[in-house]
């Protein structure tokens, strides 16, 4: 079974397609693509805050979700 990138998993779980996530959280689409392909060795605070905020707005605890 192929593992999904955690950022990709949380974005989809929160109900966002890449374009909508980019528009709402002001990221370039290429940035999201690179995050979800694991290009960045570390994520910036802004990247982490954006995905956490997206999850919390949908009633999802991102930390608990990733522990599963």
Per-residue pLDDT at 41: 86
Whole-prediction pTM value?
0.90
Per-residue pLDDT at 43: 95
Per-residue pLDDT at 1: 46
CB–CB of 55/61 below 8 Å? yes
- How confident is the chain (68 residues) per 10-residue block, as mean pLDDT? 82 97 97 94 95 96 90
Per-residue pLDDT at 2: 54
Per-residue pLDDT at 67: 87
């Amino acid at each position: 079974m192929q593992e999904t990138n955690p950022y990709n998993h949380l974005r989809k779980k929160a109900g966002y397609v890449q374009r909508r996530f980019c528009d709402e959280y002001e990221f370039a689409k290429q940035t999201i693509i690179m995050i979800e392909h694991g290009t960045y060795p570390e994520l910036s605070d802004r990247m982490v805050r954006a995905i956490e905020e997206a999850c919390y707005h949908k009633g999802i605890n991102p930390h608990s979700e990733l522990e599963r």
